[in-house]
Structure 1
């Protein structure tokens, strides 16, 4: 399914609420984001900056309500039955969103949420050997659906063969990533650089 954002998204907040059902129905999330911290881990201040830019592109001004909705959805992190396997590129740690305080707060939150027992965070260092090329970010919901958000559209992929391709790419990205203490050191290094 192809959903053209400019044509179908009349409210950033309502667009955030669209995800509530699939989030509630999903047990295993696999998330890849190349340049930004995933929404599930964002601070309100970081989310405000991201959603403000999106709102400007789509000519929508309700980014504060959308940020509140995104923060409310984060309670799902604390439901024991949900598992989040996340891979980000090192660039996501270093892409400046907001001012220094926003970035330090965001990276500090990333350190904290990565210690949750239901979260596995992998970071692909800039100089890592690649097993898959970076792409647009994507989210895999269990084994049934993938969502990819481009600058102009949201793609919902539910054909099993195509979902399997994304699962394979995710596995390769994950194998290129650092986890545990080495990943935390990359975050700490990014904080120190700020």
Structure 2
């Protein structure tokens, strides 16, 4: 978890503690507040000490219980700032995958050049509906989130219309492992690989594959997406990181360029995809 994120969470906890001890009816102890809220005392401790991130509902309840309901708006604003960079999957997926897809679609619309690196999955921008369906289904199972798979698939596929927009450029690089990961049935993966072959040569898309045997300038770590040079979105198991500071974006851009140097394109990329198709047929 980022240092900046933890500092912001600590600051929010300090503000919550301040509200608890300075209410209009006098100081509340932690046990007294937990009793009012019907929470375990440990939750009060964790929130005030930056050990747990509050929900919007938690903050509204805290403002009411400390006799200061007018502070709820301020607390919600602090929470929004906290989550603008580290967006936990638990919160993002509370209403399913569709809202997450809508949020990223907004960023796509603002972007002229999208650079993508993926090491284990075919990127969403070139996924077939069946492949996307398998990915969403498995992620919802892992996160125990609402299953709105069909809606999320529709939004993702609709976003792919941008691939044919001559005002945009999509520069996509994948590790060869993404071509071989059986995150779906072999039949679905076979169709997905056919789709990738069809992307090669498209004027608005640069599709590169980093083969297993390629010499690497940098190890092929987790995936990330660069929206022009203003935003990097990095996925981890607990959260998405939305990074907008210039220095960090420069690191991701250098990383992307280093990975691109190891990639093959055109006929050579098609050959790597074809090898993956053959291996799939033989298995």
The TM-score, its normalising length taken from structure 1, stands at 0.97
Distance 1:101 1:9 in 2: 28
Describe the superposition over 1:106-148 as per-residue Cα deviations: whole angstroms up to 9, x where unpaired: 0000111222111111111112111111111000000111000
Q: How much has 1:8 moved relative to structure 2? A: 3.1
CA contact (8 A) 2:232 2:244 kept: yes
Match of 2:121 in 1: 36
Q: Name the structure with the higher strand share.
A: 1
Distance 1:148 1:37 in 2: 15
Q: How much has 1:91 moved relative to structure 2? A: 0.3
SS across alignment from 1:143? coil
| Matches for 1:92-107 after TM superposition, within 5 Å | 92-107=178-193
Counterpart among 185, 189, 194 of residue 275 in structure 2: 189
Q: How much has 1:7 moved relative to structure 2? A: 2.5
- Give structure 1 regions of 4+ aligned residues with deviation exceeding 3 angstroms: none
Please tell me the root mean square deviation across aligned C-alpha atoms, in Å. 0.9
SS across alignment from 2:172? strand
Counterpart among 135, 143, 148 of residue 58 in structure 1: 143
CA contact (8 A) 2:92 2:100 kept: no
Distance 2:200 2:187 in 1: 20
Distance 1:54 1:179 in 2: 30
Number of residue pairs the alignment of both structures matches: 194
| Matches for 1:2-151 after TM superposition, within 5 Å | 2-10=86-94, 11-59=96-144, 60-151=146-237
SS across alignment from 1:84? strand
Distance 2:158 2:248 in 1: 31
Q: How much has 1:64 moved relative to structure 2? A: 1.8
Give the gaps of 5 or more residues in structure 2: 1-84
Q: How much has 1:9 moved relative to structure 2? A: 2.2
Counterpart among 154, 158, 162 of residue 244 in structure 2: 158
Distance 1:129 1:113 in 2: 25
Q: How much has 1:97 moved relative to structure 2? A: 2.5
